[in-house]
Structure 1
Amino acid sequence: MDLKFLKLYKFPVLLALSCLAFYFSFGYGLERSDFPRLILLYTALCFLSYKLVNMLKADLRLLIGFAVLFRLIFLFALPNLSQDYFRFIWDGRLVAEGWNPYQYIPDKLINLENFSIAQSKELVMGMGNLSAGHFSNYPPLNQLIFTIAGWISSSSILGSVIIFRIIIILADLGTLFFGRKLLKSMGLPEHQIFWYILNPFIIIEMTGNLHFESVMVFFLIWSLYLLHQRKWFWSAVIFGLSISVKLLPLLFLPLLFKYFNRSKEQLGLRKLIIYYLVCILTGIISFLPFYSAEVVSNFLGSIGLWFGKFEFNASIYYLVRWIGFQVKGYNIIETAGKILPIISIIVILGLSFFRRFQSTKQLITNMLFAVTAYLLLSTTVHPWYLAIPLILSVFTEFKYILIWSAVIMLSYYAYSNPEYQENMWLVAIEYIALIGFMIYEFYKGKSQVSA
């Protein structure tokens, strides 16, 4: 750095150096159980990152440089807020050795005489009883990423983590590339992409804790950019790849109905049907290497567990559960877990057929509303689930997801005690902050909402 640069950018550089120190502390010195330190570090990073983006709106190259540096600081750190990466490594090594991860439960497979993969006991212990007792629920393109690590680093956990991290960083750079292009083509400020790229939530949960929502988001934004450019066939292929990383983008398919049949630049019903077919066929093809009737049953069963058995950091569901205890005297998750997804579908269909879709911005806004409704009605909302609504909010006037990404880390309180008990006051603070800001934004911009 020369003196002229330091003189011109001394304050942003100071902020960036502070961020680097905090990210280093987050990645290499933080225990998940140390909730006060976690929240203090995260709060400081949110404030510093907000200041950085606001100060450097006109110097995107510097923001890009900081975004890469902040991610690289985690390169050699083992994830400290999530143990999911043990299952990722396990699945990858299974596929690399010719085993089907959808066909075997780790707890049972590890006891077979003819089974042998490196560090198998360490991986099963690391992933925890919940993961070790169920079939894999990660879609095929995710499994491909796991397998790449299994081939390249078959006996080193850190080596596998580094490979995962490099892939996630490349995906974020891809999101940055296509996100800027989409913003520019929509007539929106390009710096808005950094509300996602430089968000500490994304850097910590994706690069730090190795959640592959980053790869899903990359394919989704690439697909939306192609769709905006009217390259609908390739958009469908890329959309299918996004689904093959994580299933969540399936929620958005109904929203394309009116977008394809809008009055301006009408694409038409025929192209919409082809789009759906290509998208779904892409996903099906990705499943073929693993296919069997047993595998389909196991995979769907694992997915179903999230709706009928697990509960974490929920909002509406927790209110329903409380009412259930008052009326029935027991946890009604099995019933609520079946009804709430149906309500989500009804909301999404309502958005699909009763709102306007005259532009890509309106499509993305409705996608944001759809995934928000889905999450508010879910029984389980882990922090990394916010990746899709956060990236979608970048292309809209609504910023309530930024507030949610700041307060959702309160959910990590559950890991600060041996019983993994949530603090309902903290959950309430999270959702009061979110819903309060949502109401404020809807009231302030109701003319935009009804447009």
Structure 2
Amino acid sequence: MSSVATKAPSPTTGRPIGLRLRIVAAVVVVMLVDGSIIGLREFQHGRLGLLVAVLVFGLLGIWCRGVLPALRLRTVAVICAVVQLPGLLSRPLLSDDSYRYVWDGRVQLAGVDPYRYSPISPMLAPLRDPLLFPPGHGSGVVNTVINRPWAHTIYPPIAELWFTVLAAVTPWWAGTLGLQIASALAVVATTVLIGRVLIRTGSHPGWALAYGACPATTIEAANGAHVDVLAALLLVIMAWSVITNRHWLAGVMLGLAGGVKLVPMLLVPIFLRRQPVRTAATSVATLLTGYLPHILAVGSLVLGYLPGYLNEEGFDGRRRFALLIFLPEPARLPVALAIAVALAVVAILRSRRDLVLVTCCWLYGAAFLVATPTYPWYLLPAMVLVVMARRFEWLMLWPAAYFGFLHDREPVLQTIGYGIALIVMLGTGWRRRVRTTPDAGGSADR
């Protein structure tokens, strides 16, 4: 394993004025698309708008594929920062998750464990404000913009810490704005770090904009303020730690990412043979350490609404696992779990000869193909792995997820969307293998 940095290819040098004009045009289009989505205001229209926006961005990526290698890291950072701005101009449009984030942070800041009470508990009445709990509905009914106000929080402890830190610096009248700004800044930091990883592994930092400038990222982060952006940032730090041989730090970062959203822990099998103690065990220990104070305080309440959420979302086979729709409902969950275990075994067996970033990409992405969730922002951590591994065919998960989001009550249409994505990804992977192109990821992360 080598920790020597691989020098990135030199930036493209011909026709600088034409390159600049194309870059400016692409940035303007992205901002106009983002602004148009913000202006739609209606939920269903916003879903459709983002599906179209992702497809438009894909066409822009094809148009700019000769331009991106000319971008230096500082230019990438500026472009990424600029395209976040439209999302900050409006309250969250496609999700009300951020209201729960604000509330959970405020509860923990008040010295109450966020897993102990639901938002409508009388014990938390003194913490209510007219933005999260607008007046109305009388007769003792609590009116609130927080989703599932009767349920205990579902978010893991590192996410709760993130909410608390931001609640400490955001006045109540600002609502979700503090979260939105922090999420936008997290995307910029993530994009810069992706650029550094790409340089380290012999590629161009401009490709980092496939994450940082995509409307799916800018709207879900700067507007939706989804906590998944923090998990994405931590996974990029994990990747940087791996390729620079800081394996303990990689384990800590993976555990922290799991403490934001549990899904990143699916990557642990990749390190069971490579770094079983320094990365795999450390990640699990980090996650458990984050939970420990809450377990001591509230016991089993740390599970929150997770079991209810899994049932509500149809992970028992009723609504999820769209690619397994041909199976009877009772068989879908067991088959999905069997596939997941098989994929983890493959990752373990191949972990010593395959590139870490590539394995992380397909294992994380495959989890979405198996589960086929309809909330596209869950893909934010997956997409940073896609870009760092330069397996851009996996970006097909974006339109598939938004198509599923648009038709979240129609499993057959979800099957079509994810099925098309799977066919494109398999076809692209087959072409890469047939052409025997040397892996672009280098050997720095072996």
The TM-score normalised by the length of structure 2 is: 0.81
In terms of fraction of residues, the more helix-rich structure is: 1
Q: Which residue of 1 aligns with 2:113?
A: 100
2:192–2:208 Cα contact (<8 Å) kept: no
Alignment partner for residue 377 of structure 2, among 384, 394, 418?
Answer: 384
Using the aligned pairs only, state the percent identity. 19
Q: Which residue of 2 aligns with 1:328?
A: none
The 5 A counterparts of 1:52-451 are: 52=64, 54-60=66-72, 61-107=74-120, 109=121, 111-112=122-123, 115-119=126-130, 120-122=132-134, 125-128=144-147, 131-156=148-173, 159-260=174-275, 272-292=276-296, 294-295=298-299, 297-300=300-303, 302-311=305-314, 317-318=321-322, 320=324, 323-324=327-328, 332=330, 336-337=332-333, 340-353=336-349, 355-358=350-353, 362-378=355-371, 380-414=373-407, 422-424=409-411, 426-446=413-433
2:54 and 2:424 mapped to 1: Cα distance? 20
| Letter of the 1:298 counterpart | L
1:250 and 1:47 mapped to 2: Cα distance? 33
Point out which structure has higher relative CO (alpha carbons under 8 A, 6+ apart). 2
1:207 and 1:440 mapped to 2: Cα distance? 34
- Deviates further, 132-141 or 25-34: 25-34
Residues 322, 277 of structure 1: alpha-carbon distance in 2 compared, 3 angstrom cutoff: closer
Deviation, 1:148, is 2.5
Residues 288, 37 of structure 1: alpha-carbon distance in 2 compared, 3 angstrom cutoff: closer
1:241–1:282 Cα contact (<8 Å) kept: yes
2:232–2:384 Cα contact (<8 Å) kept: yes
Deviation, 1:124, is 6.2
Q: Which residue of 2 aligns with 1:266?
A: none
1:92–1:149 Cα contact (<8 Å) kept: yes
- SS at structure 2 position matched to 1:74: helix
Residues 336, 132 of structure 1: alpha-carbon distance in 2 compared, 3 angstrom cutoff: farther
List runs of 5+ in structure 2 lacking aligned partners: 1-14, 135-141, 440-446
Q: Which residue of 2 aligns with 1:418?
A: none
Corresponding pairs, count: 413
| Letter of the 2:145 counterpart | G
C-alpha RMSD of matched pairs (Å): 3.2
2:143 and 2:232 mapped to 1: Cα distance? 29
1:389–1:401 Cα contact (<8 Å) kept: no
| Letter of the 1:140 counterpart | P
- SS at structure 2 position matched to 1:106: coil
1:33 and 1:356 mapped to 2: Cα distance? 42
1:439 and 1:423 mapped to 2: Cα distance? 25
Deviation, 1:91, is 0.8
Residues 422, 182 of structure 1: alpha-carbon distance in 2 compared, 3 angstrom cutoff: same
- SS at structure 1 position matched to 2:133: helix
- SS at structure 2 position matched to 1:188: coil
Residues 136, 311 of structure 1: alpha-carbon distance in 2 compared, 3 angstrom cutoff: same
| Letter of the 2:303 counterpart | L
Residues 56, 187 of structure 1: alpha-carbon distance in 2 compared, 3 angstrom cutoff: closer
Which string of whole-angstrom CA distances, capped at 9 and with x for unpartnered residues, describes residues 224-283 of structure 1?
Answer: 2112111222222222222221211211111112333xxxxxxxxxxx324334323322
| Letter of the 1:441 counterpart | T
